[in-house]
Structure 1
Amino acid sequence: MIELTDNAATELKSIIDKEEKKDHALRIFVAGMGCSGIQYGLALDDDVKEEDVTVESKDIKIVMDSDIVGGLTEAKIDFIDTPQGKGFVIDNPKAASECGSGCQGCQ
């Protein structure tokens, strides 16, 4: 299932503490479609629904709609800090690595 890296877990715990959101989980949601398939978003959420799937990684609760679980079974969430910027990234080996047919956005 989905796994957090140590960097991601440390950053999330810091954000949760700073924002006093200890009752929140990390929600993964579909944010749109791109050339490489589904684009996912992340948010802290305290509204877990009946149809959600909940997993835990490094003491962080992660929730997502049951419809997207299959596409994230091997995903890792990392936190990167580079000269170009910092933020959370989802490394998903199950995501398509090439443009799909009919894609006009990357030509």
Structure 2
Amino acid sequence: MNFVTISNETLTEFKKLLSDNDINSKIIRINLAGMGCGGPTFNIVIDEQKESDISCTIDDITFIVSDDLHEKFGDFIIEGTAENNKGLILRPVNKPSGGGCGSCGGGC
């Protein structure tokens, strides 16, 4: 099951990012970095697979995510410069509506 969608162009850009930063590991974890006024923010880290993770391999890169995170947000999309003119962006398919912080009263 592929829970990550990434175009060939973006995969090339992603691999270049890993290479440019001397990252040799090909196991990439998708994490929830936090919740803010704009909703959830995600990041990626180098990690090892745990029992509670699901994984998919695209080309030679293995993406892992906790089963709980996948249940909450569904699949993930990685877009690159060719698609958004901004660079690499990771976003969930099931992004919740509204913000995620309580300090602004929803006014952000």
TM-score, length of structure 1 as denominator length: 0.70
Specify every segment of 5 or more residues in structure 1 that has no aligned partner in the other structure, as ranges.
Answer: none
Percent identity between matched residues is: 25
Q: 1:65 to 1:7 in 2, by over 3 A?
A: same
1:88 deviates by 1.9
Equivalenced residue count is 102
Cα RMSD of the aligned pairs, angstroms, is 2.8
**Whole-angstrom distance in 2 between the partners of 1:57 and 1:40:** 19
TM-score, length of structure 2 as denominator length: 0.69
**Whole-angstrom distance in 1 between the partners of 2:37 and 2:54:** 27
Question: Does the 8 Å CA contact 2:55/2:62 hold for their aligned counterparts?
Answer: yes
Specify every segment of 5 or more residues in structure 2 that has no aligned partner in the other structure, as ranges.
Answer: none
- Aligned position for 2:53: 52
Which structure dedicates a bigger proportion of its chain to strand? 1
Q: Which runs of 4+ in 1 moved over 3 A?
A: 15-18, 99-103
Question: Does the 8 Å CA contact 1:51/1:65 hold for their aligned counterparts?
Answer: yes
Question: Does the 8 Å CA contact 1:29/1:40 hold for their aligned counterparts?
Answer: yes
Q: 1:52 to 1:94 in 2, by over 3 A?
A: same
Q: 1:27 to 1:101 in 2, by over 3 A?
A: closer
